[in-house]
Structures are given as structure tokens and as C-alpha cells.
Structure 1
């Protein structure tokens, strides 16, 4: 049976490399005048480091069997679809709340207080993106 930690590290590395390769198709620019490829590349570097650390740590620790939960996968997919629908027809704030509270059912224990804190944190981040980066988000 495959090791869950190694599978997690390989998946993270694959995602990081996929986005890094695609980021290199765009001009990188400099830190003073960033190109469209700089931000994805800067995010991919730490993600790749985390993936490699996960793989190394998995080789040193006892293996954990890889398990899939179709229920949890369905809940995560439903939360993403709910986010898109709520954001389209109401606003992004409601979409974030739907996303967090539906995805929360995939956790081992459901905590509405934890979900509320996560939703508030994500709404604050969305507000910062709207206010300081000029993104066109319909928060209200």
C-alpha cells in the first residue's frame, strides 16, 4: 500500500512544478517591476521546498497507509461548487461562508466556531485584496 506522506509530498511537488513551468512562459521581470510570471514562481518555490521536506520526513517516519474518503472528496467538491454559485448570484462573502461551512463537514470533528473564525479570516483577506490590490470582488 502506498505511503500517504510520500503521496502528499509527490502531489505537492507536481503541483509546484506544474505552476513553475507555466510561470516561466510569462515575463518574470524584477522585484521592482514584476512581470506576470514572478508571483506564481515565488509561490512555487516554498511549495516545492515544503514538498521535498514532506518526502524526506516520510522516508524517516513510519509509513501511513494511503486512504481515500469519497464522502470527503464529494463534500470538498460541493463546497467549491457552492462557492461559485453563491458568489455569482449573491456575493463573494456569502460564497466564502458556504465554502467554509460545507467543507467543514469533511473534518474529523465539526466545529461551527472554528468555521466562523476561518470564514472571517478569509473575508478579511478578500477585503484586503479588494481594497489594496484593486481586485473587483463583490464582497457586499
Structure 2
């Protein structure tokens, strides 16, 4: 039996890109588009939305032509855990600082994976914290607290 294209991963991704591109293009019409020589603030989002629609339609057409297996069921647990990790890190960033928020983000996000190993998670947390510090504090000179205020 042939799987319907919208039940495959490519079909779902293509439809998502196309619908999101339509939404972006529609929202960009709220801003003046300008002309080619003097582009307005709505031109870039409109071009991006149209590009997303084209990519989405190409991926959807590929999914319709090829017989792919059905997409696995949606991982609700992972989506909830990663969303919670982002919310916790966002709440901690300005109060507890970068050196608490980034490790919390990584440690909580690791709960979404069923086979994560603690040593690898700790190394990732340390490396990402140092990279975030180098990028945002040292490189871009952003005024993000590093520790509790």
C-alpha cells in the first residue's frame, strides 16, 4: 500500500515550509515594499516567504513522486522537555547569569534524549557555556550577567 505524501516526513516538512512561507509573505505585506533600488522593510520578508513557499512546494512534489515510509509518531515528550529547557534558560539568563542558564539549558534538554550519557552532557554543557561566553560577552560585548547579581 502506498503511503499518502502528507504522512511522510518529506511531505510534512514541505507542507510546513509552504504554509509558513505563505504566512511570512502575508505578514510582510503590512510593511511598505519599496522599489528595487530603494527596498522597503517588507521586501526581505516577502522574498523570504516566497522562497519558503517554493522550497516547500518542491519538497512536497518530491514526496508525492517517491514512495517513502510513513513518518514516525511525533515525540511529544521531547518537544515538551526542550520547550521547558528554553523557558527555564530564558528565566535564568538575566537573574542567575549565563554560567547558570546555559548548563541548565543543556542538562534539561538532555532529558529529551533517551540514550544521553551524563559525561557527554556535562562536556557539552561546559563547552557550550564557554563558547557562549566567548561569543556574547567577549566577542560582541553584550551586557549579559555571567553570575547571580
TM-score tier after normalising by the smaller chain length: 0.5 to 0.7
Q: 1:11 to 1:139 in 2, by over 3 A?
A: farther
Aligned structure 1 segments of 4 or more residues deviating by more than 6 angstroms: 114-121
Q: Give the structure 1 partner of residue 30 of structure 2.
A: 25
- Per-residue deviation, residues 57-94 of structure 1 (Å, max 9, x unmatched): 22214232341122111112112212321234245686
Aligned partners of 1:12 and 1:51 also within 8 Å:
yes
Q: Provide the TM-score with structure 2 as the length reference.
A: 0.61
Pick the structure with greater CA Rg.
2
Q: Give the structure 1 partner of residue 89 of structure 2.
A: 83
Q: Provide the TM-score with structure 1 as the length reference.
A: 0.63
Aligned partners of 1:9 and 1:51 also within 8 Å:
yes
Specify which structure has the higher proportion of helix. 1
For 2:60 and 2:143, the matched residues in 1 are separated by: 37
Unaligned runs of 5+ residues in structure 2 are: none
For 1:72 and 1:50, the matched residues in 2 are separated by: 27
Q: Give the structure 1 partner of residue 69 of structure 2.
A: 63
Q: 1:116 to 1:32 in 2, by over 3 A?
A: farther
Is 1:15–2:20 an aligned residue pair?
yes
